[in-house]
Amino acid sequence: MKHNKKRNTAFIYETLARELTKAIVAKSPRQKQNIVSLIKEHFAAGSVLRTELHLYQTLLETTNIHQNVAERILHETKFAHSKLDTREVFDAQSRLIAAINKELGKDVWSNFVPNFKSLASVNAIFNSKTAIKKKVLFEQSMVDRMSAQTPPGPSTHLKPIDNLTYHSFIKKFNDKYGDLLQEQKDLLNRFITSFADEGFELRVYLNEELTRLKKEITSATEDSTEPLVTQKLEGVAEYLEEFRKREFTEGDLNKVLKTQELVQELRAND
């Protein structure tokens, strides 16, 4: 049996809700007002469409219940739906569809509704023209879904940290990073916060710091009497010079930090 989505009250409501969201995001107050008026008019309290929508919601929004209870809810919902005047529902739907086409345009029907399949299943359960075999299968599937026990998700609450854990964390952090040089801390600080200003402050700092490092390395190279040390220092100077020709990357951070340490050691040896 083919499912006519325009004759599915829950689908119409869902489509309107999505169109309303689009209008709000697009800052279109006129469209928004039109949709709200349509919903208020056609889904008013006591209206036949509101009653039918409520029956759809009863089946679709009920979860985590016992199988017997699910079966009873399904039975009662079907009974309540059978009490509705089919002709009245059809006419109300026709009026709403015509109003949507006129006020909002036919593009509304192309809105994507994620739970379309579930809505179609409920529609098939309520529809008297659905084949008995299919109806029973849909009903069983609905009962299974309503009675499925969903495992509780991971807790979103942060676990409280006691003082011992906190002090242990601070101690470990200080043991690892406490002996950093002041200039290393400054560089790391600017590197970490560089996302905030697109690295402007980091580049200003690097520009100055590289000048200092180059000066120190050059001075140490001139003072060095050992050829091997001189050669290595020249290599470091060349590496620092490269930053004139290419961007500073995350991979360079470690090397610059080590160069800062090297300069500190050279100064201490003087």
Interaction site with another protein (CB under 8 A): 186, 189-190, 197-201, 203-208, 210-211, 214, 240, 243-248
The minimum distance between CB 46 and another protein, in angstroms, equals 53
The minimum distance between CB 106 and another protein, in angstroms, equals 27
The minimum distance between CB 250 and another protein, in angstroms, equals 15
Which is nearer to another protein, 104 or 240 (by Cβ)? Answer: 240
Which is nearer to another protein, 91 or 238 (by Cβ)? Answer: 238
Which is nearer to another protein, 48 or 206 (by Cβ)? Answer: 206
How far is 252 from 131, CA to CA, in rounded Å? Answer: 70
Q: What angle do CA 23, 27, 32 make, to 5 degrees?
A: 40
Taken in order 57, 60, 65, 69, the sign of the CA dihedral is positive
The minimum distance between CB 28 and another protein, in angstroms, equals 24
Which is nearer to another protein, 215 or 258 (by Cβ)? Answer: 215
How far is 59 from 63, CA to CA, in rounded Å? Answer: 9
The minimum distance between CB 135 and another protein, in angstroms, equals 58
Instruction: List, in order, residues 6 or more apart from 265 with CB less than 8 Å away.
Output: none
One-letter amino acid at 91 equals D
- Closest of 112, 108, 115, 94 to residue 35, by C-alpha: 108
- Closest of 58, 64, 63 to residue 81, by C-alpha: 58
Q: Is residue 204 within 8 Å of 191, Cβ to Cβ?
A: no
Which is nearer to another protein, 23 or 202 (by Cβ)? Answer: 202
How far is 83 from 167, CA to CA, in rounded Å? Answer: 68
How far is 171 from 178, CA to CA, in rounded Å? Answer: 9
Q: Which two structure tokens, joined as six digits, stand for 210?
A: 């590289």
The minimum distance between CB 236 and another protein, in angstroms, equals 14
How far is 68 from 65, CA to CA, in rounded Å? Answer: 8
Which is nearer to another protein, 75 or 215 (by Cβ)? Answer: 215
Which is nearer to another protein, 170 or 181 (by Cβ)? Answer: 181
How far is 113 from 109, CA to CA, in rounded Å? Answer: 10
The minimum distance between CB 208 and another protein, in angstroms, equals 6
Q: Which two structure tokens, joined as six digits, stand for 183?
A: 């200039």
